[in-house]
């Protein structure tokens, strides 16, 4: 894992986005197409902005998956990750080769099986991810399942995770935050050829410290990134503020 610390979230996002652009273009040059995973949330704003402002990615050669979606939440809800990706990415980059958004409004187990079959035929070249305040990776809250090989899972969201969503302004109160979601599994994320992880803000500092300075553990789900052969972690000074090692 390579760790890059920037002065502020904007600079962090630009650097992460620039690396993602480089990796996507390299995949297309090497094999004629690219399969990518996009994360959502406030941590990804600037990173995604760098992607959509890149003028030389042939998006018609790109297939996109995304990490997670709440169960039972309408696509019109402000917190919907499908809504986020449609408005912040899909509507701005032009036509992709294909994209697969998670539908949490219907039968969740059937949705995971459908997505499992699709993604198994699309080896991921570049995954954009973040780390939650509780150390989660996607919606794999602690204690995370490191063993399952199933690409998508129905997961329960712990209180710390739900409080983060409330604190970021996506919901009016804690009761409104869903208690379940469909999430890409830890194993599936780790199958990505390259991982670009963006983690801004001091509120993530404890999670960053736990995931970088402890042994890999299901109690710190994103600690698994220590084992990935090509993961670049982008922090700002706030997120890196509790690290005791260089």
pLDDT digits (tens, 9 = 90+) for 102-124: 999 989 999 999 999 999 999 99
Q: What is the pLDDT of residue 112?
A: 97
Q: Is the pTM of this model over 0.75?
A: yes
Number of domains in the chain: 1
Give 70's pLDDT tier (boundaries 50, 70, 90): very high
Q: What is the pLDDT of residue 134?
A: 94
Give the count of alpha carbons within 13 A of 57, CB side only: 29
Per the DSSP assignment, residues forming a β-bridge with 127 are 37, 195
Structure tokens at 39: 């994360």
Angstrom CA distances, 15 to 50, 222, 237, stand at 9, 20, 14
Q: Residues 21-29: what's their mean pLDDT?
A: 97
What is the domain extent for residue 101?
2-236
- Tell which wins on pLDDT, 117 or 165: 117
- Cα–Cα distance, 88 to 184 (Å, whole number): 21
- Cα–Cα distance, 230 to 164 (Å, whole number): 28
Max Cα-Cα span within the chain: 48
Of 16-20, 43-47, 60-64, 102-106, the one with minimum mean pLDDT is 43-47
| pLDDT value at 230 more than 80 | yes
Structure tokens at 215: 């042994």
- With respect to residue 242, please indicate whether it lies within any of the assigned structural domains: no
- With respect to residue 26, please indicate whether it lies within any of the assigned structural domains: yes
| pLDDT value at 21 more than 60 | yes
Q: Residues 25-51: what's their mean pLDDT?
A: 92
Q: Following DSSP, what letter does each residue of 56-116 receive, concatenated?
A: S--GGGEEEEESEEETT--TTSTT-HHHHHIIIIIHHH---SEEE----SS-HHHHHHHHH
CATH for 32: 3.40.50.1360
- With respect to residue 82, please indicate whether it lies within any of the assigned structural domains: yes
The pairing of strands 68-70 and 98-100 is: unpaired
- Cα–Cα distance, 50 to 14 (Å, whole number): 6
Q: Residues 178-195: what's their mean pLDDT?
A: 97
| pLDDT value at 246 more than 60 | no
Average pLDDT of every residue of the chain = 94
- With respect to residue 91, please indicate whether it lies within any of the assigned structural domains: yes
Q: What is the pLDDT of residue 44?
A: 87
Q: What is the pLDDT of residue 109?
A: 96
| pLDDT value at 245 more than 70 | no
Of 32-36, 84-88, 162-166, the one with minimum mean pLDDT is 162-166
């Amino acid at each position: 894992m390579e760790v890059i610390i920037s002065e502020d979230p904007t600079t962090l996002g630009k650097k992460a986005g620039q690396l993602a652009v480089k990796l996507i273009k390299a995949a297309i040059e090497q094999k004629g197409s690219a399969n990518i995973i996009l994360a959502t949330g406030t941590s990804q704003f600037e990173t995604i902005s760098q992607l959509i402002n890149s003028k030389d990615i042939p998006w018609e050669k790109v297939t996109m998956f995304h990490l997670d979606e709440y169960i039972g939440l309408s696509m019109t809800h402000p917190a919907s990750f499908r809504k986020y990706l449609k408005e912040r990415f899909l509507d701005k980059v032009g036509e992709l080769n294909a994209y697969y958004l998670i539908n949490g409004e219907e039968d969740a187990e059937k949705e995971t099986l459908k997505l499992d079959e699709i993604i198994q035929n699309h080896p991921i070249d570049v995954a954009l991810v973040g780390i939650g305040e509780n150390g989660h990776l996607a919606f794999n809250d602690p204690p995370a399942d490191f063993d399952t090989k199933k690409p998508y899972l129905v997961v329960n969201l712990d209180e710390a995770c739900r409080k983060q969503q409330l604190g970021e302004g996506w919901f009016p109160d804690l009761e409104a935050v869903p208690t379940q979601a469909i999430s890409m599994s830890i194993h599936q994320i780790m199958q990505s050829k390259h991982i670009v992880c963006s983690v801004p803000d001091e509120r993530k500092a404890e999670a960053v410290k736990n995931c970088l300075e402890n042994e890999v553990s299901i109690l710190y789900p994103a600690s698994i990134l220590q084992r990935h052969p090509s993961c670049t972690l982008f922090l700002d000074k706030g997120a890196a503020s509790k690290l005791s090692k260089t």
